[in-house]
Amino acid sequence: MSAKKQLLIARLAAIRARLLRQLIGIDEATLTTVPVFADWTAGDLLAHIGEHDRLYGAAVKWVGEGHPGEISIEESGWYEHAHNGTLDQAVERFMVARAEFLDALARLDDPDLRRPYLIRRGTGRGRGTVKSWAMWRYLHESGYMRGLQKWRDGLPETFCVGPKSVLLAALRAAHTDLLESVALVAADERTTRPVCGDWTLKDVLGHLADWDRYFLNWLNAMVGGEVHDLYWDEDSDAFNAYLQAARRDQSWQQIWEDFLAARFAFLSRLESLTQADLERPNSGTLSSFPDAYHCAWSCLEHYLHHTAILRREYGVNIPKYLLDFTGPYT
């Protein structure tokens, strides 16, 4: 994949992860009843964004299949679906439509991204390129992300246990965000160029793998599951230095595979839990998290934090607000 195309996909992934973060810590009733814009709730917005991904994904797929002439995209009643469906259904449409859009985009060569096409949507017609459609997806979502941030700032409570579907979507989006930014790092710099203090990308991924295992351990301690007696040091700098030293002689491939395995294990375990599991108050464990939901929330912010640092230290050409991240668990 070309560097320009990879950067475009990385931008899409970054804003998607930040948008979903705005919905963390908010209960389902608020997400489905308190308007964000006019009479649109957060759930409505997810369905709306998902429908736009579906529309433009269909157009990108049309280009990829080599069809000449005018491209027609038709809406499918997203507003009615949003009001008639559940939040979980809206989240599912939101995630699936983006995956289909990115799959279609990944199949195109760079010349296809820049070639103009005539597109018809309803009664309107206009010319555009696949690159411009992808950038519109980014800008469209960025605008809603800022609106959600403003809405969130006005809510009385934003440290609640939210719905599992939104939490999982946010964690998966954060993982994708990291992977797409990792892909921007040149292969010959993965083990040599610092991207977080004096840590290389190999060090960062090893660190994330180690902490995913700790998050999984704490999660299991609260909900029941396999718990390991892992080494721990209250001095976080000393602890992280110990973990880094333990991985010093590991190859890039070893750490990469372990990083993916640790993330898969954590997400799989979270997927197996019920909403009641996430809400159950923590008692009798050494974990400082009030419940399993907040443990996963911390894991989410750990990813967002390191991805932002990676982009900033590597000099990625991306808006400034995506080069830093702060939250209650950073």
Name the superfamily (CATH) of residues 164-322.
Answer: dinb family like domain (1.20.120.450)
Q: Do domains 28-153 and 164-322 have the same CATH topology?
A: yes
The length of the chain is 330
- Domain parsing of the chain, residue ranges: 28-153, 164-322
Q: What top-level class would CATH report for the domain 28-153?
A: mainly alpha
255 pLDDT exceeds 90? yes
Residue (of 299, 302, 311) closest to 201 by Cα position: 311
Q: What is the structure's pLDDT at 285? A: 75
CB 200 within 8 A of CB 190: yes
- 10-58 pLDDT tens trace: 999 999 999 999 999 999 999 999 999 988 999 999 998 998 898 889 8
Tokens describing residue 298:
């911390």
Question: Which residues make beta-bridge pairs with 73?
Answer: 121
- 131-180 pLDDT tens trace: 998 999 999 999 999 999 999 999 999 999 999 999 999 999 999 999 99
- Amino acid (1-letter code) at residue 275: Q
Tokens 């029941």 belong to 224
- Run of H or E residues at 44: helix 42-64
Q: Distance between CA atoms of 141 and 180, rounded to whole angstroms? A: 17
Q: Distance between CA atoms of 109 and 272, rounded to whole angstroms? A: 39
Q: What is the structure's pLDDT at 39? A: 87
Q: Which 8-state DSSP code applies to residue 135?
A: H
Angle at 232 between CA 226 and CA 238, to 5 degrees: 150
User: Which is higher by pLDDT, 108 or 76?
Assistant: 108
Q: Distance between CA atoms of 318 and 321, rounded to whole angstroms? A: 8
56, 57, 58, 60: CA torsion to nearest 10 = 90
263 pLDDT exceeds 60? yes
What is the pTM assigned to this prediction?
0.94
Class of residue 68 by CB neighbours under 10 A (exposed 0-12, middle 13-18, buried 19+): exposed
- 100-136 pLDDT tens trace: 999 999 999 888 888 888 777 666 677 788 899 899 9
